[in-house]
Amino acid sequence: MNLPIFILASIIKIAIAIGALLTAVAYTVWLERKLVGRIQNRWGPTRVGPFGLLQPLADGLKFILKEDLIPENAYRTLYLLAPMLSVALALTSIALIPVGESITLGRFTTPFEITAVMGAHGPSDINVSLLIILGITSIGVYGIALAGWSSNSKYSLLGSLRASAQMMSYELSLGLSLVGILILSQSLSLREIVNMQSGGILHWNIIGGGQIIAFFVYMTAAFAETNRIPFDLPEAETELVAGYHTEYSAMKFAMFFMAEYTNMITVACLATLLFLGGWSGPTFGPVLVRALLPLFWFMSKVFLFLVLYIWIRGTLPRFRYDQLMAFGWKFLLPVAVANVVVTSAIIAIVDLH
């Protein structure tokens, strides 16, 4: 593939990916309101459009038209930069996530991933894509920390301090939960990790790889990383009003929500790729259907993770802050380390024989 065609294909893929991601974010909010409403014996959104399907559009319009207030004593530069940083980092990580093999249109073939190219042996991505995604998501805490400090509000500052401590604490367990998979696959490339799981459900890392404990550690740490119930202490309304985004309004407030839900989708995508075989699934039918079915399987698995996020929000109560930190350091971290040790020992024993 020559350079102009690669640039054009990348621009088209970026536009499609951002459009699809922002649409997914909007309708994840709609899905959450509907499902939590059902859990609480309510209807959820019903007024705007059939089944409330135009509610995300109405919410977006409301955010655009609302008055944009800036606190008088805020550190203006960092106050404005914080939500932009959060949403930019959240959107950037999606560029490295493959959602399928490739699609062919005439003589032109391109992988289902923004940063991938077609090589002699098929789609090829950045061989340390997992490491880059973990790096990008880990510095997302800077947006939250800057928001809390620059707002010049006690509630915002306490919320950002909680978020920083929580994210750094659970980041360690999240990273360790993936070490077992890296030992099994011997690669940091997400495509190679998915290819290692091809062959059916028994080859998925959660089953065939014996990483079921790592999966639960990953999901628990991911809930804490994205500040979701029962780990939403940085935004605890009963204690901190709205936490680090208390002083934000209009589109800056919406940016933090966009970043949160985008991070949820990123976490669900990574869980699908690392534990559930990615886009692998039965393929059949005409050529176009066979090309799009992997994308369907991938999106279905991601959808199930998002439903799990919402289900847990409507089911579990919030932790107390000391319980949150104790759980992360005294339980989750030792379990993650034990999983690494056991996986390493099993692989070493198998290799010896």
pLDDT in tens, 54-103: 888 888 888 888 887 888 888 888 888 888 888 888 888 888 888 877 76
Range among 2-11, 14-23, 243-252 rated most confident: 14-23
Residue type, 132: I
Give the list of residues 6+ apart from residue 97 with CB closer than 8 angstroms, or none: 113, 129, 133, 190, 266, 269, 270, 273
**How far is residue 177 CA from its own chain's centroid?**
16
| 249 phi and psi angles, rounded to 5 deg | -145, 170
**DSSP conformation letters of 273-321:** HHHS-TT-S---SSHHHHHHHHHHHHHHHHHHHHHHHHHHHTTPPPPPH
Give the list of residues 6+ apart from residue 307 with CB closer than 8 angstroms, or none: 31, 35
pLDDT tens, 99-140? 877 766 666 666 777 766 655 555 566 778 888 888 888 888
The CA dihedral of 239, 244, 250, 254, to the nearest 10 degrees, is -100
| 66 phi and psi angles, rounded to 5 deg | -70, 155
Threshold 0.85, pTM exceeds: yes
Q: Mean pLDDT across the chain, nearest whole number? A: 83
**Cβ-based neighbour number of residue 29 at 10 Å:** 18
pLDDT tens, 132-171? 888 888 888 888 888 888 888 888 888 888 888 888 888 8
**How far is residue 99 CA from its own chain's centroid?**
14
| 281 phi and psi angles, rounded to 5 deg | 170, 170
